[in-house]
Amino acid sequence: MIIRKALDSDLDDVLSIERAAFGSGDGAEIVQTLLGDDSAKPIVSLLAFQENKAVGHILFSRASLKPDAPLSISILGPLAVLPDFQKQGIGGKLIEKGLDILSTSGVDVVFVLGHPTYYPRHGFKPAGILGFEPSYPIPEKNADAWMVQELSPGIIGNFRGKVICADSLDDPKYWRE
Whether the per-residue pLDDT at 177 is higher than 70: the answer is no
pLDDT tens, residue by residue, 41-69: 999 999 999 999 999 999 999 999 999 88
Structural domain for 36, as ranges: 2-174
Q: What is the reported pLDDT for 172?
A: 84
3-state secondary structure the chain: CEEEECCHHHHHHHHHHHHHHHCCCCHHHHHHHHHCCHHHCCCEEEEEEECCEEEEEEEEEEEEEECCCCCCEEEEEEEEECHHHCCCCHHHHHHHHHHHHHHHCCCCEEEEECCCCCHHHHCCEECHHHCEECCCCCCHHHHHHEEEEECCCCCECCECEEEECCHHHCCHHHCCC
> How many domains are there within the chain?
1
Q: What is the reported pLDDT for 25?
A: 64
Q: What percent of the chain has pLDDT over 90?
A: 86
Whether the per-residue pLDDT at 164 is higher than 80: the answer is yes
Window from 79-83, 120-124, 165-169 with minimum mean pLDDT: 165-169
pLDDT tens, residue by residue, 14-45: 999 999 998 866 678 889 999 999 999 999 99
Whether the per-residue pLDDT at 153 is higher than 80: the answer is yes
Residue 123 maps to which CATH number? 3.40.630.30
The residue among 169 and 124 whose pLDDT is bigger is 124
pLDDT tens, residue by residue, 105-123: 999 999 999 999 999 999 9
pTM above 0.75, yes or no: yes
Q: What is the reported pLDDT for 71?
A: 96
